[in-house]
Structure 1
Amino acid sequence: MASASGPPPRIPNFELNERIGAFFAYLGLVGLGAAVLFRLPSFVKHVRGTGKYGYTFLAAQQNGSVASGVARVSQGETGTVMKNSWIKSTWWNVQRALMTRIPLTSGLSVGKLLLMMRFGFLAVSQLPITFALSMKNSPLGYLIGEGYEKLNFLHRFTADFLCTWWLDVSGRLMFLFALVHGALLMKIQVERTGTIHLGHAPPSWGFAALVTMLVMGFTGWRVIRERFYQLFLVIHVIGYIVILVTIWKHVPATHPYVYVSIAFLGVDHVLKALKTRYTDASLSIMPGGLTRIEVHGINEGWHAGNTIWGGFFEVTLLTNVCNLFAIQHPFTIVNAPNRSSLPLLGQDLVLVAKAAGDFTRNMHKMADKPNELLSEKSKTSETFMNYKRFRVTVEGPYGVSFDDPTKYGTVFLCAGGIGITYCIGILEDIVGKIFRGAPISTQKIELVWAFRDSRLLEGFEPALAEIVNVAVAHPQISINIRLFRTGGDRNLNDYTSLPAKFEAGARPDFKNLLDEVAAHPTSLAICVCGPISFVDSVSAAAISMNTGELSDIALHTERFGW
């Protein structure tokens, strides 16, 4: 049981442990700096080629027509599958190798006190890095060409909880170090005084921080996070504030780490505010349980594949969904901006959300049957006629990639279900640049789309048909479309007149498809969007494919899930 009278034992060699903690903080910064230097040539080339685009939205341009395009709901983490496990293992092995070579000596016979404090400083040394990797506007992401969603696994790696220790041998650093620190402290107190001194300020504040990390880690576990994302988000926001306060109160030596973490947090929120636009959006329904969201007044400033966070605020006419629409929701922008759009596809930025969770289901209901969601008083108001138009915030764009598909001779697009929206955006961007006479290297596009519900094809066929029609008029580019309906055996010709190869009741064999592409001398960009298993299968095929005559290969993946 906790606590008794009398002060806790004095901890010797405190200065040495501070230096060890600082060493690992600097070690992390050195590692991040090395990654930046490694990617610096690509960053310079990317900036020269894209200029101001991809960092903030621009007001609607008048010199062209923005593509209506489509977008998919982005549900969190994306990334290049082949990179993640290698980076995580390297990060852990370097720190473990260095840590085991530090002398463990102290004023006690077995070095217990020094070891205990050492783990405490190892934990707090991860705090600034954890906050830096959680930033949506992390300078590291822009410098190495990876969006915040692709750096997020490193954020979880440095911060998450012990429950994943036996699931991932790389371990989760900050909580593990903090847990060892707290356990050793209590063990030493019991051995020296016969009781645990949680009633005194340093141990009590430290214990509060440790419990908060445990709660945040548990709710951050993928199973919990994906099923109860809003709960995870609320606990995470409250939790990091509690952690900063409790660690600051724990011991004065932690103050520099807390100050740096707060600085990262403040810079990120300032940049979020600068990247937020307030505008109007209209809702309408599409086949297959889809909702079309047309954002007015923005048609420039992003790259195909960038993400946004949208917030719906002017919903005072609604009764049962007003609280739901007061929050932000992530979307991936996939329609082409004004500079590479096609003339007949629309005027404003357009997103498409599938009715999957509470947010998107209520959005679809509002677009489909708005009268049922309005109060009797609202139905008689002057604003009732404009019930489908709402005031929204659009924060972004986010997501950085130095791999421009238009730099590759062949582009291989793979879509699983609603992931077709990502591929349509890339298609429009490539064909739109050819239509406008921009110099690009792409000569061939292969589109593979696997889906269960044929109503998805009905909803997206007009956009696909328009892109294909424009491409046909430009012989320097060819588009091959392969459709796989995995949920039935009915002939897809009943649903579409697209010039495509149809496969009913089958799944694509990506290994064979990629080997066919690799048989020709070219450079290849593989872009995939879909469920986790779908993305993993494409990534595995890309790893094992016969490279043949290929001169260069790039893989970009986007996965469903938070």
Structure 2
Amino acid sequence: MAGRAMFLAACVHGSLWFRNRLQYGLAILGPQKETSGVASLALLCIIVLTLPRPVRRLFYECFFIIHILTCVAFVVAMCYHTSYASPWIFPPLTFCGVDILLRLFRYRIKAATLTAQDTHMTMIRVHNCDDGWLAGQHVRLRVLFSSRGDSGAFVQVILDGPYGGSSVDLGLYESAFLIAGGSGVTFTLGLLDDIVGRCVRLGRSQGERTRRIEFTWCIRSFEWFAPMLIDITTAASNSTVDLHISIFITCSQACDPEAVLHIPNSIDTLSRPAVHNLLRDFISFPSSWEKEDSIDMHA
């Protein structure tokens, strides 16, 4: 919002100045103040024109380079344009520099393995990086060097983080309802693995109260995460945790039921979920699901 307001103010300021120069027959480009002002407005226009989401999605690498270069050039041009710009420019630059410096302390360079799951998903397994994490956290990751045919090979990656996580401790509640769509399952799957591990593997060492978990996922295809879900459900199958998994498959073409991997105590449905119905069923019914291995396909 602040950026759009600044662009609007700059356009009003620039249009009035252009009108004044044209009305009195004055040259648009001249001394340093005029030239640097036109350059600042042009750079700001480039920044705004490259911001729309389609541009960023289709040409992200070009957008990133252009955005960095034009922002730096805009700051320099504004300092030449007016001496009043300095008090408004240098404090934000100081905060930005401090932020970058603090981020450097969170950077880690690790070896990782890239494994292509299919044409839409690549699994990145980072080695020797299993300390200092909380369930549901994420990192910003950059692959330093990669090329075609790197599947299964070691590469170097930069990790920035971890960030985020859950502000709610699921272990404080008897029932937990986790729902995700698409790749958002990376968050809920981490929470599920954590609470099942605390209740089953660690024997409720911190007094966890969780007895019932409903895990719902809406996805086009779930073969990528099936092994992890199988491990978690197997661990919970002979415990005091009542875990039930509902997977809603939204593939555009008819899915082959035989191709669906067998996940204990799960129901797979070929449709989109009605969230209000899921919540109503979760709230209305007590923890009475039967611990059965079931794969039901409903069109």
Name the TM-score class by shorter chain.
0.7 to 0.9
Deviation string 1:46-100 (CA, Å, 9 cap, x unpaired) is xxxxxxxxxxxxxxxxxxxxxxxxxxxxxxxxxxxxxxxxxxxxxxxxxxxxxxx
Q: Given the superposition, is the C-alpha separation of residues 245 and 391 from structure 1 closer, same or farther in structure 2, using an over 3 Å criterion?
A: same
* TM-score, normalisation: structure 2: 0.82
Secondary structure at the aligned position of 1:264 is classed as helix
What is the aligned counterpart of 2:214 among 427, 446, 451? 446
Once residues 431 and 397 of structure 1 are traced to their aligned partners in structure 2, the CA distance between those partners, rounded to angstroms, is: 22
What is the aligned counterpart of 2:81 among 231, 246, 250? 250
Once residues 114 and 255 of structure 2 are traced to their aligned partners in structure 1, the CA distance between those partners, rounded to angstroms, is: 33
Whether the 8 Å CA contact 1:492–1:502 is kept in 2: the answer is no
Q: Given the superposition, is the C-alpha separation of residues 232 and 396 from structure 1 closer, same or farther in structure 2, using an over 3 Å criterion?
A: same
Once residues 76 and 171 of structure 2 are traced to their aligned partners in structure 1, the CA distance between those partners, rounded to angstroms, is: 48
Residue 55 of structure 2 corresponds to 224
Q: Given the superposition, is the C-alpha separation of residues 287 and 181 from structure 1 closer, same or farther in structure 2, using an over 3 Å criterion?
A: closer
Whether the 8 Å CA contact 2:245–2:267 is kept in 1: the answer is yes
Residue 293 of structure 2 corresponds to none
1:512 aligns with 2:277: yes
Across the aligned residues of Structure 1 and Structure 2, the Cα RMSD in angstroms comes to: 2.6
Once residues 407 and 233 of structure 1 are traced to their aligned partners in structure 2, the CA distance between those partners, rounded to angstroms, is: 43
Q: Given the superposition, is the C-alpha separation of residues 474 and 182 from structure 1 closer, same or farther in structure 2, using an over 3 Å criterion?
A: same
1:496 aligns with 2:262: yes
Residue 467 of structure 1 corresponds to 232
1:158 aligns with 2:10: no
Once residues 492 and 208 of structure 1 are traced to their aligned partners in structure 2, the CA distance between those partners, rounded to angstroms, is: 63
Residue 102 of structure 2 corresponds to 271
Whether the 8 Å CA contact 2:136–2:187 is kept in 1: the answer is yes
Whether the 8 Å CA contact 2:243–2:265 is kept in 1: the answer is no
Q: Given the superposition, is the C-alpha separation of residues 275 and 446 from structure 1 closer, same or farther in structure 2, using an over 3 Å criterion?
A: same
Residue 367 of structure 1 corresponds to 151
Q: How far apart are 1:493 and its partner, in Å?
A: 7.9
> Percent identity between the aligned chains?
29
* TM-score, normalisation: structure 1: 0.46
Deviation string 1:486-534 (CA, Å, 9 cap, x unpaired) is 2225436853142112212x2111121122234479xxxxxxxxxxxxx
Residue 175 of structure 1 corresponds to 7
* Deviation larger for 409-418 or 256-265: 409-418
Q: How far apart are 1:259 and its partner, in Å?
A: 0.6
Greater fraction helix: 1
Q: How far apart are 1:238 and its partner, in Å?
A: 0.8
Once residues 129 and 274 of structure 2 are traced to their aligned partners in structure 1, the CA distance between those partners, rounded to angstroms, is: 39
Give the partner amino acid of 2:250: T
1:186 aligns with 2:14: no
Residue 486 of structure 1 corresponds to 250
Q: Given the superposition, is the C-alpha separation of residues 203 and 303 from structure 1 closer, same or farther in structure 2, using an over 3 Å criterion?
A: farther
Whether the 8 Å CA contact 2:229–2:263 is kept in 1: the answer is no
Whether the 8 Å CA contact 1:186–1:196 is kept in 2: the answer is no
Secondary structure at the aligned position of 2:161 is classed as strand
What is the aligned counterpart of 2:140 among 309, 315, 336? 309
Q: Given the superposition, is the C-alpha separation of residues 410 and 296 from structure 1 closer, same or farther in structure 2, using an over 3 Å criterion?
A: same
Q: How far apart are 1:270 and its partner, in Å?
A: 0.7
1:291 aligns with 2:112: no
Q: Given the superposition, is the C-alpha separation of residues 252 and 269 from structure 1 closer, same or farther in structure 2, using an over 3 Å criterion?
A: same
The number of equivalent residue pairs is: 281
Q: Given the superposition, is the C-alpha separation of residues 177 and 503 from structure 1 closer, same or farther in structure 2, using an over 3 Å criterion?
A: same
Q: How far apart are 1:478 and its partner, in Å?
A: 2.1
Whether the 8 Å CA contact 1:445–1:479 is kept in 2: the answer is yes
Gaps spanning 5+ residues in structure 2: where?
287-299
Give the partner amino acid of 2:220: R
Q: Structure with the greater relative contact order (CA < 8 A, sep ≥ 6): 1 or 2?
A: 1
Q: How far apart are 1:179 and its partner, in Å?
A: 1.1
Deviation string 1:199-234 (CA, Å, 9 cap, x unpaired) is 222232122122112111111101111121111111
Structure-to-structure mapping, 1:506-545, within 5 angstroms: 506-519=271-284
Whether the 8 Å CA contact 1:483–1:502 is kept in 2: the answer is yes
What is the aligned counterpart of 1:234 among 65, 80, 87? 65
Q: How far apart are 1:465 and its partner, in Å?
A: 1.5
Structure-to-structure mapping, 1:404-415, within 5 angstroms: 404-415=169-180
Once residues 250 and 77 of structure 2 are traced to their aligned partners in structure 1, the CA distance between those partners, rounded to angstroms, is: 52
Q: Given the superposition, is the C-alpha separation of residues 441 and 196 from structure 1 closer, same or farther in structure 2, using an over 3 Å criterion?
A: farther
